């Protein structure tokens, strides 16, 4: 795997990688390319004519193990480009805009200490943005803060889900339909924690995807099982057991949450994935089982994204050059989605005009691209 860091001219990321592995090349590099050695003994060797401008480096791993490579300022350790997973005997490309300053390649073998190559000085030009590396230690405080917030959110999910169950138990399906959406949206706001929820998420928020019996399958459970029944004329008697199982599942998750440990290294990635999944599943209607609430769920997912970003903001403030642009896009997406709300009701996807549908797709799609920068910048890097 190699990491695509950026199109440098966009100003929001660091560099970008091109192409797949090319094995054991002995011929010269293409015109304008610089072949750089990746190994413990010769890290960074081969770059002898430093010049400003956009340059492409062919990073050739001459060692017998995989490695990742950073192009950084050796004094500040600000990273200007990165490629992960360069296999032994293979070559990856890294394209980066260079300008006035000092640079060095850092080779980080999988099973050995990092090695920094010779420093190269460029005396003119404007270089692309760099970012100080984020370490696992840097991410622990925001992860703990977020995990505490999730615990409070689970308390609310349990309370709201119990209200849903009570309405079903007394046979008041109109009240159950009104109670379903607040409970479901409260759970959806916790999106960055889904990986840590494990199997409980399937029981709480799973779909019928992969189930042989589809919506009739005995293993179809959770919010969407109840949604299907409430909006497809199922009697209260058939929904009592799924509602009880849902309350049991969210209560069990809430009660065990204090013993769960989220992976701090995943926090930046989750900030991106929440809305990536929103575009993939909510805006396509794949998770609509009758309530027509996909746009409401998208709005809840946006709230969840903001919660993650609020914890990461101290790290991003000094690393993400276009953080104000991200904030502007978040506000634009919120304004766009709020336009589909009418009191307690939301416009369904089916009721959108083509122009409205395209606008929603565009706004959230643009935001997902910007959040890819957050995932990249908050990916922990080895510094030793």
d(CA 72, CA 85): 18
3-state secondary structure labels for all residues of 214-252? HHHCCCCCCHHHHHHHHCCCCCHHHHHHHHHHHHHHHHH
pLDDT (average), residues 196-220:
95
Which has more confidence, 313 or 112?
313
When pLDDT is cut at 50, 70 and 90, the band that residue 31 belongs to is low
Provide the pLDDT for residue 131: 82
Q: Which residue has the tokens 């260079």?
A: 98
State pTM to two decimals: 0.81
Provide the pLDDT for residue 223: 98
Provide the pLDDT for residue 87: 94
310-348 residue pLDDT tens: 999 999 998 898 999 999 999 999 999 999 999 989 999
Which has more confidence, 132 or 370?
370
Provide the pLDDT for residue 301: 97
pLDDT (average), residues 16-39:
57
Do 187 and 205 contact (CB within 8 A), yes or no?
Answer: yes
Provide the pLDDT for residue 187: 97
Provide the pLDDT for residue 128: 77
What is the distance of C-alpha 29 from the center of its chain?
Answer: 35
Cβ-based neighbours of 333, under 8 Å, separated by 6 or more: 302, 363, 364, 367
What is the set of domains in the chain, with CATH numbers?
A: 8-122 (2.60.40), 136-377 (1.20.1420.20)
Provide the pLDDT for residue 376: 86
pLDDT (average), residues 280-298:
97
54-89 residue pLDDT tens: 999 999 999 999 999 999 999 888 889 889 889 999
DSSP letters of 36-96? EEESTTTTTTT--S--SEEEEEEEEE-SSS-EEEEEE-TTT--EEEEEEEE-TT-EEEEEE
| Tokens at 231, concatenated | 């909006």
Portion of the chain with pLDDT greater than 70, in percent: 91
How many C-beta atoms lie closer than 10 Å to residue 26's C-beta? Answer: 5
Cβ-based neighbours of 325, under 8 Å, separated by 6 or more: 12, 370
pLDDT (average), residues 220-231:
98
Provide the pLDDT for residue 30: 53
d(CA 283, CA 297): 10
Provide the pLDDT for residue 193: 87
Cβ-based neighbours of 231, under 8 Å, separated by 6 or more: 177, 289, 290, 291
From the list 63, 73, 66, 123, the residue with the least C-alpha distance to 96 is: 73
135-185 residue pLDDT tens: 899 999 999 999 999 999 999 999 999 999 999 999 999 999 999 999 999
Provide the pLDDT for residue 9: 29
Using alpha carbons, list the distances in angstroms from residue 251 to 68, 150, 176, 190, 381: 43, 13, 19, 15, 37
| Helical (H) or strand (E) element with 332 | helix 323-338
Provide the pLDDT for residue 259: 93
For residue 121, what are the β-bridge partners? Answer: 102
Do 81 and 130 contact (CB within 8 A), yes or no?
Answer: no
Using alpha carbons, list the distances in angstroms from residue 114 to 63, 67, 70, 89, 265: 14, 9, 10, 19, 20
The answer to whether residue 383 scores a pLDDT higher than 90 is no
Provide the pLDDT for residue 14: 42
When pLDDT is cut at 50, 70 and 90, the band that residue 8 belongs to is very low
Provide the pLDDT for residue 15: 46
Which has more confidence, 207 or 29?
207
pLDDT (average), residues 127-138:
85
From the list 376, 365, 368, 158, the residue with the least C-alpha distance to 267 is: 376
When pLDDT is cut at 50, 70 and 90, the band that residue 384 belongs to is low
Cβ-count burial of 165 within 10 angstroms (0-12 exposed, 13-18 middle, 19+ buried)?
Answer: buried
d(CA 115, CA 94): 18
């Amino acid at each position: 795997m190699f990491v695509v860091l950026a199109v440098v001219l966009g100003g929001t990321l660091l560099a970008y990688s091109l192409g797949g592995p090319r094995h054991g090349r002995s011929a010269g590099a293409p015109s304008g390319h610089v072949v750089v050695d990746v190994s413990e003994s010769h890290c960074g060797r081969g770059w002898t004519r430093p010049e400003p401008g956009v340059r492409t480096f062919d990073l050739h791993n001459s060692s017998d193990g995989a490695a990742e490579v950073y192009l950084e300022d050796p004094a500040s350790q600000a990273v200007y480009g990165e490629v992960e997973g360069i296999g032994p005997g293979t070559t990856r490309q890294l394209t980066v805009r260079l300008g006035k300053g000092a640079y060095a390649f850092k080779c980080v073998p999988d099973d050995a200490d990092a090695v920094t190559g010779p420093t190269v000085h460029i005396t003119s030009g404007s270089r692309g943005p760099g970012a100080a590396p984020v370490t696992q230690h840097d991410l622990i405080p925001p992860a703990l803060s977020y995990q505490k917030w999730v615990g409070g959110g689970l308390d609310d999910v349990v309370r709201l889900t119990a209200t849903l169950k009570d309405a079903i138990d007394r046979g008041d399906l109109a009240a159950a339909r009104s109670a379903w959406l607040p409970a479901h949206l409260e759970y959806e706001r916790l999106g960055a924690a889904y990986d840590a929820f494990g199997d409980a998420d399937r029981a709480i928020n799973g779909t019928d995807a992969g189930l042989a019996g589809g919506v009739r399958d005995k293993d179809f459970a959770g919010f969407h099982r109840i949604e299907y029944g409430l909006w497809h004329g199922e009697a209260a008697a058939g929904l009592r057991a799924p509602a009880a199982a849902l309350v049991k599942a969210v209560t069990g998750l809430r009660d065990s949450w204090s013993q769960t440990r989220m992976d701090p290294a995943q926090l930046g990635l989750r900030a991106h994935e929440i809305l990536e999944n929103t575009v993939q599943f909510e805006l396509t209607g794949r998770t609509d089982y009758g309530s027509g609430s996909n746009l409401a769920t998208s709005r809840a997912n946006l709230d969840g994204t903001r919660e993650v970003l609020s914890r990461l903001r101290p790290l991003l403030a000094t690393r993400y050059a276009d953080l104000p642009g991200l904030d502007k896009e978040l506000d634009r997406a919120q304004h766009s989605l709020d336009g589909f709300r009418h009191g307690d009701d939301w416009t369904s996807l089916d009721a959108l005009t083509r122009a409205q549908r395209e606008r929603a797709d565009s706004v959230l799609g643009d935001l997902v691209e910007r959040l890819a920068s957050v995932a990249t910048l908050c990916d922990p890097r080895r510094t030793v």
